[in-house]
Homo-oligomer: A and B are copies of this chain.
Amino acid sequence: MRYGPQYGPDITFLGVDRCDWSDAASYSDADAVILGAPFDGGTSYRSGTRFGPQYIRQACYLPHDGSRPSLALRVDGLRDLRVYDAGDVEMFSGDAERSVRGLQAAVHAVTSAGALPLILGGDHTITWPDAAGVAQHAGQGRVSMIHFDAHADTGDIEFGSLIGHGQPMRRLIESGALRGDRFLQIGLRGYWPEPETLDWMARQGMRSYEMTEIGARGLEECLGEASGIAMDECDGVFLSVDVDVCDPGHAPGTGTPEPGGLTARQLLDSVRRIAYELPLLGMDVVEVSPPHDHAEITSFLANRVVLEALSGIARRRRDARDGTTWDRRQPLLDDRPGPG
């Protein structure tokens, strides 16, 4: 039985077909399954991310027709792939532990059914069950993590709890689900965490690209390096995108905004590139907090992050099949029959 969306009407991501994550038959041909995780009980500051899934699903001015042909990649991520939306997994923000448990079960079910789980948060708490659910099927330590964020999210205990939006990465590594030395973080900055936690991170062999290094070396170079590490002795990548990796000017609708981040353009390009170049096994987009947004620009951005990933995967598959390569310098109309 499909639970459906928790806050609002039963819609799907831009109109793709519905499925029930607990009934694999309802999505047996799926390439990707979208799950909502409307949870904000783990935030350490502003809440509101419980409305993330519904806003991300519909933040678009085009018809909700389950089709989005990418100008840049020349594929339709919603049509060239088979994408379903399983609705929300029931989250009770007042019970993080139960919520996390339920979400992991759903992600694991989707992964086991052979589909890529794409989870719409919710606060970053959910990346623990998201990536753990994938690793549960793909194998402990076989999945690397590429993590866009202003924050390392490697805290230990906060507000007396092991579960929260500042801690998922620690839980994933401690539990053995993911290897610390295949943990790539992009976009960190600011004044957290404190040295003790940085020491812990270093001991795990994590590789964290703070904005200063990114500024000095260039994002492209850092991404290339990270991709190399990610594919070393791992079978695929979990991509976790916290919208606060972007500058608050580009993503105001979030809970713990840290000035000085990426532009929206940089984030979209990076997600596209990773989805195109690396084998994704799972993905989440988190920390969209619509009550703090303006003109839905953060929801629009998160919607496009999802589409860039799906488009990148679709193009990756097409190029693999056809033996072609995507050329970023190719003019938009170049491969179409011209006026002549």
Contact = CB atoms under 8 A, between A and B. Distances in A.
Interface in A267-302: 268-269, 291-297, 300-301
Contacts of A330: 213
A321 interface: no
Interface string A176-215: 0000110000001111101100110111111111111101
Q: List 10 tightest A-B contacts by C-beta distance, closest first.
A: A94-B96, A41-B94, A202-B336, A45-B61, A9-B11, A92-B159, A249-B250, A248-B297, A68-B191, A47-B47
A332 B249 contact: no
B61 A332 contact: no
Nearest to A41: B94
A8 interface: yes
Interface stretch (A69-77, A103-111, A232-240): A69-77
Given A64-B8, A212-B72, A328-B212, A297 B249 contact: yes
A328 to B, nearest CB: 4
B9 A159 contact: no
A332 B43 contact: no
B62 A257 contact: no
A96 B92 CA distance: 10
Contacts of A202: 333, 336-339
A95 B95 contact: yes
Given A71-B189, A292-B291, A337-B203, A217 B94 contact: no
A93 to B, nearest CB: 5
A111 B1 CA distance: 36
Interface stretch (A20-28, A29-37, A130-138, A160-168): A160-168
A42 B336 contact: no
B297 A160 contact: no
Contacts of A339: 180-181, 202-205
Contacts of A332: 188, 198, 208-210, 213
